[in-house]
Structure 1
């Protein structure tokens, strides 16, 4: 009997202790909203690229015999980038040159016979036409031999090379991508859900990880009419304004396309806002207060309505329930 009584007392003490713990006020810290600039923006990632990009492709097909430019190399306009094999073309030229010499001799004989009135003048005309036809074929083959050399259409860095020696390439197949000029731009990928909020001319704030915390500005320059249905994104071009001298082609960039800027907005730390509500201390108890959120950025949330300046809220309301007893930590 005594043992049962002791067990009962211990159970009562345990329940009482739990109840006392639950009734003990939870310590919380308060934070007041501050005034600052709120920025609504569409976030995107991208890369730096030349504003002018030129694709280089052969006009005729053939096997690559020589590559004379590497990725990253600076080339000058007219510089040879690659050569295709020309053995077959050279053989055709030899054959046509022989035919041209024979046609020239036939024309000279025909002209001599016409002068002696042994044959009609039309014989010389026919021989001349045959010679001219061979010469036209020679000019065409010589042009093809010239097409076997790929020349740089502009001066600039080789951004990409898409072939190797020995590879057969088709006419029109892009082998080199060259950046022209010194002007840079940023190519960003915008999610299809955000593209409706982007317009040409909008300001853009950019940051390149390679340049540390430095930021620079630009504007939306172009938006394609068609997106990528697989990636579900649109490639938007950003024109740079006073780009840093250290910015290089290929650097990755974070871009914020500015939708709106509001000065003197009411801002709270993001930790103080949960599920579109903040928590206030009212008569020693935690009470949720619904608010309208605005822009979010740099660890702060804009409060559009539901809270006034000077009204303190709980800094970290995780785990609180409505009506829970709390005490403000000093």
Structure 2
């Protein structure tokens, strides 16, 4: 009796320990393959504002959150010498201008006119003396003196012409040079007034009046107030599968459980050596109503899609190339696309073949 009871218990124990085998049938459904990416939201034309000169902030014209136009002054850096340099340049320009040198030029022109009149007079006297000498009137000395006076007057007139021309050139050069010095002084001074490079919104402004700024440290961040893009990082192992125009499905921490669509706009060709990633820029297909720069993004870039294919769950695949049939026997299959949950079966089984779930 004892042996009989022991046998019954053993059979029951063995039967109870047998695991229930899970079987399913492959399904015809859509599947897509994707590349994972993470990144941030950025405003269109977003850029960091760097001052061109170091110094102390003398005045602020805007504040964080303000909307600005391209060319609008954001803040000014103290620079007492800039105003003095402009004033000195303007004084030099005024002194060197054509208007201020009219008297000098007029005197030179008068001197040239007088030299011309003397040249005409000496020329006339020389011709008369020559005529008298041909009639044996006067002396050879008189004739030679009139000729010499004529040549001297001719040289004096040419010199006067050269002086007028040279003076005009000098005045023009000095005036233009002084004007450029004024423009240069104003340009240098304008570098102490930092302006917006694009129209948009000030998303960040990190300084106050009296604080120091340096040319290597950004002071503000400005970007478009309404249009935003995505800046995603792609692992170097996946970048060859990413193409411009591919669809992106993404989530934002600020929009819980919502999925948004975007498309790849550009792929930066240079890899970041530190992170071993490439930067991909994308645009929203339908942009969320409220966005801010630097929001975190998690995305899947769809690299391939099949609308109606034979699929099985990925955890039913053995060693990436086999399945277990209803009897638990390994059968080779050829696989295609894979997503996080399912895998495409190209050949090896049909929708009518039951398959087992592998045991761990």
TM-score where L is the length of structure 1 = 0.72
Deviation (angstroms), 1:82:
2.2
Q: Output one character per residue of 1:131-179: Cα deviation in whole Å (capped at 9) or x when no partner.
A: 6644542332122212321222332123556877312327xx8654422
Which residue, out of 21, 36, 39, partners 1:43?
Answer: 36
- Please say if 1:169 is aligned against 2:215: yes
Q: Please tell me whether the aligned partners of residues 279 and 317 of structure 1 are also in contact (alpha carbons under 8 angstroms).
A: no
Moved more, 254-263 or 68-77: 68-77
Partner residue in 1 for 2:263: 219
Rate the CA distance shift 1:245–1:132 in 2: closer, same or farther, 3 A.
closer
- Please say if 1:90 is aligned against 2:83: yes
Partner residue in 2 for 1:311: 353
Q: Give 5+ residue unaligned stretches, structure 1.
A: 1-12, 319-330
Aligned with 1:279: secondary structure? strand
Rate the CA distance shift 1:43–1:296 in 2: closer, same or farther, 3 A.
same
Deviation (angstroms), 1:116:
8.7
Which residue, out of 46, 49, 74, partners 2:67?
Answer: 74
Which residue, out of 188, 200, 208, partners 2:252?
Answer: 208
Q: Please tell me whether the aligned partners of residues 311 and 344 of structure 2 are also in contact (alpha carbons under 8 angstroms).
A: yes
Rate the CA distance shift 1:128–1:273 in 2: closer, same or farther, 3 A.
closer
Q: Output one character per residue of 1:60-117: Cα deviation in whole Å (capped at 9) or x when no partner.
A: 4331414555565433333321222221212323444565676689857756876996
Q: Output one character per residue of 1:4-33: Cα deviation in whole Å (capped at 9) or x when no partner.
A: xxxxxxxxx9xx979x75995332332332
Moved more, 102-111 or 199-208: 102-111
Deviation (angstroms), 1:247:
4.1
Q: Distance in 2 between matches of 1:151 and 1:160?
A: 15
Higher helix share: 2
Aligned with 2:44: secondary structure? strand
Q: Distance in 2 between matches of 1:96 and 1:256?
A: 61
- Please say if 1:228 is aligned against 2:228: no
Partner residue in 1 for 2:332: 290
TM-score where L is the length of structure 2 = 0.66
Matches within 5 A, 1:1-330: 21=14, 25-54=18-47, 56-58=49-51, 60-65=52-57, 66=59, 68-69=61-62, 72-96=65-89, 107=101, 110=104, 133-159=177-203, 165-169=211-215, 175-180=219-224, 182-276=226-320, 277-282=322-327, 286-297=328-339, 299-315=341-357, 317-318=359-360
Rate the CA distance shift 1:247–1:310 in 2: closer, same or farther, 3 A.
farther
